[in-house]
Structure 1
Amino acid sequence: MTPSRAPLIGITLDSEPPSTTGGYSRFAWYALRQNYMDMISACGGLPVAVGHDAAQAGQMVARLDGLVITGGAFDVPPDLYGDEPPHATVQTKPRRTAAEMALLGEGLALGRPVLGICGGMQLLAVLLGGRLVQHIPDTYPAALAHEQPNPRDEAGHVVHVTPGTQLARLVGCDTLAVNSSHHQAVADAGRGVVCATAPDGVVEAIELPGHPFCMGVQWHPEFGISAGDRLLFEGLIDAARQTGT
């Protein structure tokens, strides 16, 4: 990749069913908050939306320089990490999960820089052989409000960054103020390494040692709440420049 070319960063979309009450469309539709693309553009990347066709994952990732797996109001199916039955709160989107699993697998195999956000981090942990907590209050009775009551463009709590990790080197600090919008969490990161936790012990970030850039964060850094949020995206895009096609 020539130095003047902005790295092409794929961003996975959410999917919504047809609306029967006068919503966006009477047909199934994709969705993505604007700030995902805005943040990537601001950090020097060229964002492109990625749909949910698992069969095209190899061709798609081969053309990308980096990949962002986004979050959404749904859960990773528990059978993917050997935890049955599903909790009563669990909601799934199987087609989206299958496509994102395929994209992540191709991204890791090809050495592409990857950032998993919220549910994207949880899916990354599962792909790396880990497991999830299906419902935080059941495992952490004294948990913080990980579904924060205040707006998502404000901080909900802080996280403690693990010294010596790639995340610590990237953000240059040991605590970050983050937003929070999840009811599940990583119980075991598999081949990944935990690189940040909340004060109540909930895992907030993981990374894969030996990969150019493979990181997952439980919060939504696209809101740019702290300087560390932008540094995450800058780190992804810098890695994409170095490893790009």
Structure 2
Amino acid sequence: MEKRPLIGLTLDSEAAGGWSKLPWYALRQNYFSAVIAAGGLPVALPHAPELALDYLAALDGLLVTGGAFDVDPAIWSNPPLAPHPKVVLKPGRTDFELAATRAALARDMPVLGICGGQQLLAVALGATLHQHIPDEAPSDIAHEQPNPRTEPGHEVEVAPGTLLARITGRARMAVNSAHHQAVRSVGEGLVVNARAPDGLIEGIEAPAHRFALGVQWHPEYAVDPADPLILKAFVEACRG
């Protein structure tokens, strides 16, 4: 039986209250089940930036997840912007994810960024962000869809010739949409691989890397039949 590659999944974090009287980590089960279905062996990564290199030494791939967080604009803006009132900062999470993502890219380890994880991957590769779509890129499309995440919110157009196009074999995909931020501009070495009908960037990739792919939607829900192909391609790349 072929050995499953070990995939590290980043966690969301919450302060004390709600589920626990102490600070706690959280991640939906379908992140793990989707990686398992794709042939990977998922493990959760606590937020310890000083251990990022130790984690990566044991891993075959890194999946940066979404969640209730935003990347501090001070990290990606020049001159530094103040956070928008709608921005949710979680410095402990971002510090760890940036350290792990940058280290993974430096060693050309496969990286998949999902939703907020796509934005963080983009920032690690020099991109800038829209802090709050309704203010900076108003649209008739509900990028925070009102219907359940198990259903599509809108479609995206997949750019021909990109890694995403080769993986999915699609020119268009139906996607779920749960974000108030988005990639605004990409720097040298980054390619936009998907856009919403309003032109908003929905996916990025870095062709110079073995596998560095980000999607703004949540393929772990398998809203589109091509979604599992994204996880499958990522896990296959992690077999290295």
TM range, smaller chain: over 0.9
Shift of 1:103: 0.6
Does 2:187 align with 1:192?
Answer: no
- Work out the CA distance in 2 between the residues paired with 1:61 and 1:98: 15
8 Å CA contact 1:121, 1:205 repeated in 2 = yes
Give the % identical residues: 54
Q: 1:136 aligns with which of 111, 133, 137?
A: 133
Segments of 5+ residues of structure 2 without an aligned counterpart are none
**What's 2:159 paired with?**
162
1:35 aligns with 2:30: yes
Note closer, same or farther for the CA distance 1:143–1:86 as it changes in structure 2 (3 Å cut): farther
Tell me if 1:118 matches 2:115. Answer: yes
Q: What secondary structure sits across from 2:149 in the alignment?
A: coil
Counterpart CA distance in 2 for 1:43 and 1:128 is 26
- 2:216 and 2:96 map into 1 onto residues whose CA distance is 20
Shift of 1:62: 1.4
CA RMSD of aligned residues (A): 1.0
Gap runs ≥5 in structure 1: none
Q: Deviations over 1:6-34 (max 9, x none)?
A: 00000001111111xxx321111110100
Choose the corresponding residue for 1:229, options 224, 227, 230: 227
Question: Is the Cα–Cα contact under 8 Å of residues 122 and 132 in structure 1 kept in the other structure?
Answer: yes
8 Å Cα contact 1:137-1:143 kept in structure 2: no
Partner of residue 20, structure 2:
25
What residue identity is the alignment partner of 1:111? D
Aligned equivalent of 1:45:
40
Once residues 60 and 225 of structure 2 are traced to their aligned partners in structure 1, the CA distance between those partners, rounded to angstroms, is 24
- The residue correspondences of 1:101-116 to structure 2 (distance < 5 A) are 101-116=98-113
Q: Distance in 1 between matches of 2:19 and 2:133?
A: 32
Deviation at 1:196, TM superposition (A): 0.2
Q: d(CA) in 1 for partners of 2:56 and 2:234?
A: 15
Deviations 1:99-126 (A, max 9, x none): 0000101110111111001111111111
Cα separation, 2, equivalents of 1:99 and 1:141:
32
CA contact (8 A) 1:125 1:188 kept: no
In the other structure, the counterpart of 1:69 is: 64
Which whole-Å CA distance do the structure 2 matches of 1:84 and 1:47 have between them?
36
- Structure 2 counterpart of 1:203: 201
